[in-house]
Amino acid sequence: MPEGDSLHRLAAKLGPVLEGREVLAFRARRLSDAAARSLVGRRVVSVTAKGKNLLVRVDDGRVLHVHLAMHGRVFVERPRSAFWAPPRGEPDMRLAVDGAAVVGQRLPVLRLLTASEERRAPDLAGLGPDLTASGWDEPEAIARLRALPDRAIAEALLVQRAVAGIGNVYKSEVCFLERVDPRTRLSELDDAELQALLRRASALLRANVGDGPRVTRRSLGGSRLWVYGRGGRACLRCGTPIVRFLQGAPPGRSTYACPTCQPARPARSAGGARP
C-alpha cells in the first residue's frame, strides 16, 4: 500500500525520467481522447508527491493528478529494442516520453487539472503558493520557506508545501540566475534574496506556460538552459566548468551550478571543503 513516503520515492524515481521531456503519447482510461491528446507535446515541468498524491505538472500550468490508494501502481517501462512491445492488457494510464513510458494500473484517481482547479481541490489543499499562477502570495511563500531553515535552498525550492511548481530543472536555473550557491542553507539567505529567487522562478514558470520548448536563456543559438544538464561544460557566463552534485535524501536529485558565478558563502567556506 503506497504511503506518502513511497509516493515521494516514486516521484524521485519518475522525476529524472519525465522532467524536461516532451510528452510523446498519452492514454488514460478515465480521460476523454481530447483531454488525453491535449497533453501530447507538453513538456513535463515537475513530478512531485503530496501526501499520497502524485502530481505531474506540465508547462501550460496544468497538472496530472494520480492517487494510488490501496492497490494502485505506477512504474517505468523502458523499451529495450525495436522488437519490444507493451505488455498485454490496457493499463489505466500510459505516458510516453523519449526512451521510456510511465504506466499506471488500478488507479482510483486520475485527472487533469488546471491551476485554478488544483487550488480548489480539497484533496490537494496545503500546497504552497503556486508560482505559475498570477497573484501568488509572496509573503506566504517566504514564510513557508522560512519553516525549513536548515534545508539547502535548492532542496527547499522543491518542497511543494512551501512553494508549488518548481521542479529539478528550474531549481538549478534559478539559483544560477540569482548567483546563489544551491547548497546555501535557507537560514543564511535574507528575505530580499528569497524574494529574488521566487520572483525569478515565477517569471520563468510563467514565461514557459505556452507553446514551445522550455527556455530559461534567450539567445539566437546554443543552449536553452544555463546550467541544467551541462555538467563539465563551460559556464555560459564565465567559462568555468559547470559542476553537478546530488542533494536531498538519498538517492538525491541532481543539481548543477557554476562554482565561480555561485560562490560559497564566506561564513561557510571557512567550515571545510565542499564536494
Q: What residues act catalytically?
A: 2-3, 52, 253
Which residue lies nearer to Zn ion by CB, 57 or 230? 230
Which residue lies nearer to Zn ion by CB, 145 or 153? 153
Which residue lies nearer to Zn ion by CB, 41 or 259? 259
Position 260 contacts Zn ion (CB under 5 A): yes
CA distance 110 to 55: 10
Phi, psi of 11 (to 5 degrees): -60, -40
| Residue 235 beta carbon to Zn ion: minimum distance, rounded to whole angstroms | 3
Position 237 contacts Zn ion (CB under 5 A): yes
Terminal Cα distance for the chain, rounded: 37
Site string for Zn ion, 189-228 (x = CB under 5 A): ----------------------------------------
Burial 44-63 (b: 16+ CB within 10 A, else e): bbbbbbbebbbbbbbbbbbb
Bridge partner residues of 50 (DSSP): 53
| Residue 181 beta carbon to Zn ion: minimum distance, rounded to whole angstroms | 12
Type of residue numbered 29:
R
Grid coordinates representing 219 are: 539567445
Q: Which of 235, 247, 253, 257 binds Zn ion (CB under 5 A)?
A: 235
| Residue 240 beta carbon to Zn ion: minimum distance, rounded to whole angstroms | 5
Q: Per 3-state DSSP, what percentage of the chain is helix, strand, and coil (rounded to 5)?
A: 30, 20, 50
Contact 113, 65 (CB under 8 A): yes
| Residue 156 beta carbon to Zn ion: minimum distance, rounded to whole angstroms | 23
Q: Which of 96, 159, 243, 261 binds Zn ion (CB under 5 A)?
A: 261
Which residue lies nearer to Zn ion by CB, 114 or 260? 260
Which residues, at least 6 apart from 135, have a Cβ–Cβ distance to it below 8 Å? none
Position 236 contacts Zn ion (CB under 5 A): no
Looking at residues 131 to 160 of the shown chain, list those that interact with Zn ion (rule: CB under 5 A). Answer: none
Which residue lies nearer to Zn ion by CB, 169 or 258? 258
| Residue 174 beta carbon to Zn ion: minimum distance, rounded to whole angstroms | 15
Residues in the chain: 275
Q: What angle do CA 52, 2, 55 make, to 5 degrees?
A: 35
Query: Which position has the grid cell 501568488?
Result: 136
Position 238 contacts Zn ion (CB under 5 A): yes
**Eight-state DSSP code of residue 86:** P
Residues that bind Zn ion (CB under 5 A): 235, 237-238, 240, 258, 260-261
